[in-house]
Structure 1
Amino acid sequence: MAAPLAVAPAATKEKPSLVGLSREGIGEQLAGIGIDRKHIRMRTAQIWNWIYARGVTDFSDMLNVSKDMRTTLSDAFTLKRPEIVTEQVSEDGTRKWLLRFPARGAGRPVEIETVYIPEVGRGTLCVSSQVGCTLTCSFCHTGTQKMVRNLTAEEIVGQVLLARDRLGDFPDKSTPVGAAVPSEGRLVSNVVMMGMGEPLYNFENVKDALLIASDGEGLSLSKRRITLSTSGVVPMIPRAGAEIGSMLAISLHAVRDDLRDMLVPLNKKHPIAELLEACRNYPGLSNARRITFEYVMLKDVNDSPADARELVRLLRGIPAKINLIPFNPWPGTNYQCSDWETIETFADIVNRAGYASPIRTPRGRDILAACGQLKSESERMRVRERMALTSMFPDTAD
């Protein structure tokens, strides 16, 4: 007799998460499982408070919800956090998490990195918006990873929730012994959309996530403590100001179109003049809500005194501050960081023109957690394998 055919087990359907949904979205989900509509507003408020103010990850902990209702919610939904693959702590206290999410159309589970930077008086969380990136900025490690997919609002908010969990920044949670955190106040006090990906190419999910982050009954971060960084997706900048209302940062990095075309290829589509015009018209722009212009210092590329003077000229009339970023090296890069004396000379020129431009000491370099160094570990392994293969068999190089 022929052996019976093996039947593959049915794939387990992923329960929907209530994390990252608007109040209206939660209400629709509750209606979908038969919750009486006259109770939905109250239930939504309860769930919202438990998720974002209390940081619960289990419906059974929602103590002002009836036991039967908790069971119903648990059967239908999840509040789970991203899966932590690794957690690294730098010698300077910076923390980096490698996080894994379900495939959701990508063919296999995906990974991103999230970084926490503790400083005196504040703790900044650098959040990713995409798996990989389409922009291929030549100085950026993330730009060498092909775009895989956008992160959902759940996955973006989940990075903030996970960081607050791990740092003890929710009621009834404890801070790890020896962790570098601010001495008082919120441990995650600032969020910057400066991780992997271009936030404005994932606008709706980023918008939904940041509105939760800034919701007074949600994660309750001031919009002045949330910064969205873009490489210059000009058509979306007005919408970001009007619909999100966060602070804006521009990855500028060059003062001439020919150079910026090479460093930030998006410039070929939206050149410097067009980008700066969008900045001048950014909703809510004022001396109290200045735009930050990020400028990575690349040795003998964009770091001359003439570049500094042209930067001052370009930004004239825009309420702005300049963030000078010493280049953070990564495996395979062809760039070098500007000499410290060169950086100081550049900073003096822009400071004398009235632009606050502190030179930030790189943080987390020893764990590849600094600006421009983020990348999924699986992609890093592929790069290492290619580099090893190329060194052994030079003819295999591209």
Structure 2
Amino acid sequence: MATHPDNLRARLEERGELLEATRLRYRALEKMLRAFFWKDRVRANLELLREVALAQPQVDTTLDAVARRAAVEGWPRRSAPMVLLAEVARLRGAVAAAVERRLIAKQKPALLGEALLKLEEEVLDAGPLLGRRLWIQAVEILPRNLQELRAACAAGEVFERVFKRPAAEGALPFDAVEADEVRRALLVADKALEALWSRLERFDGTGRVSAFLEKRMKRAPVRPPRSGPELLLHAAFWHDLARARLRALLESRLSPVMPREEEWPELLGWLVVREGSARVGLPTSEVLSEGRAGLLEVAAEVAALSRARPVGPWNEEAAWVRLWTAAQRAKSETGADAERLRESLRLFIRLRGQGQTPARLFSSGRPELAGLPGGQTGREPEDLPGLVQRAREAAGQPRTGRVSG
């Protein structure tokens, strides 16, 4: 039995809203493509063109699904849903024919969504009219509904929320949840911003637009972003500021080792956890090998002993055990970071410690280091576990031969 026409629109559910919105977009786009100065019209409305292109796969699926359901259930031809379905299908054909006429490429995409994106490329490749201002060009090249722009803005919001507020000296600026947000935002922002600058380079033949935006992105945003270029500048500013803050933070927490940028996401959460329990080791991953993780653990222990005198309960013997255990993980590591860490331990051994004072044990900037000969205490061991053992003995601990765990 056929469904009553009054109930047909309700049975479309959310697909009815999609078809209504698509009908309006198709009408506007088809009118622009028929205009005499169609390139200028499209250039001024690239966001609409991209909106249609991005939604096209879902629209095609919806049209097929609704048509099949209407045939099975026998919907009346003059019912509102069938009229809507027919009009959207007609406008889709008109838009597809107009895009076919306007495309210059010999090999034209078969799918309408891909053809629309190809048309966008051709319009931007044609370049603006002479005398167009740089900001107008930037707005044309960076429509607000670019997926990469949305991703960069989402990451920028995380950076702004975490790094805009003041943080206590020496404290981490985020908790465990925020550290995970920053970690994911870094990965998203790096890819998104790289894609956006590549897009600018692709469609900015003179390079003037890119240079103009690169110069402006160093300024702190003073108002909410609205246009595509403003969104890019906002995201780029907070991304750069977050990277600078994180670089300074990681260097202070892991000196003398210099963490690589691809290691930053792995280290943020661990540093937060380590604030509560220094016994938590750094796990390995695709980025961090066993030796590299151990090297960073040693650096964290050395930096913690170098920054300031510990506050509250502190077990010096446990700290030396953690240091030696981490050194065992990093025993086979070589390179500049490993050598800087060994040199930091050698400097402490030459000082012979300062009793059992844990504060600033390994600081290379201490005035007592001036004029000390390199071989004052004989030849030190070359491996990290051996250097840790010698440093422990120099700090005034018993000479037991090996640090016991």
Asked if Structure 1 and Structure 2 have the same fold, meaning a TM-score greater than 0.5 normalized by the shorter chain, the answer is no
Task: Name the structure with the higher strand share.
Answer: 1
If asked which structure has higher relative contact order (CA below 8 Å, sep 6+), I would say 1
Larger radius of gyration: 2
Task: Name the structure with the higher helix share.
Answer: 2
TM-score by length of 1: 0.28
